[in-house]
Amino acid sequence: MSGWSCVLFDLDGTIADSAAGITSTLAHTLERMGKPVPTPAQLVAFVGPPIMDGFADLGLTEAESHQALALYRAQYQERGAFDSSVYPGIEDALRAIASSGLPIALATSKPERQARRMLDHYGFSHFFTFIGGASEDEVRSEKADVVAYVLENLSRLGVDTSRAVMIGDRVHDVEGAAANGVPTIFADWGYGTEAERAGSIAVAHSPQDLPALVIREQAA
Residues belonging to the active site: 10
Please list the residues that pair with 131 across neighbouring strands. 106
Question: Phi-psi bin for 3: left (phi > 0), alpha (psi -120 to 50), beta?
Answer: left
Could you give the 3-state DSSP secondary structure of residue 187? Answer: strand
* List of residues 6+ apart from 93 with CB closer than 8 A: 207, 208, 210, 211
CB atoms within 10 A of CB 39: 9
186 neighbors 207 (Cβ within 8 angstroms): no
Dihedral angle over CA of 186, 17, 73, 175, nearest 10: 10
**How far from 147 is each of 49, 78, 164, CA to CA, in Å?**
13, 28, 10
Angle at 65 between CA 114 and CA 107, to 5 degrees: 35
CA–CA dist 133, 187 (Å, integer)? 19
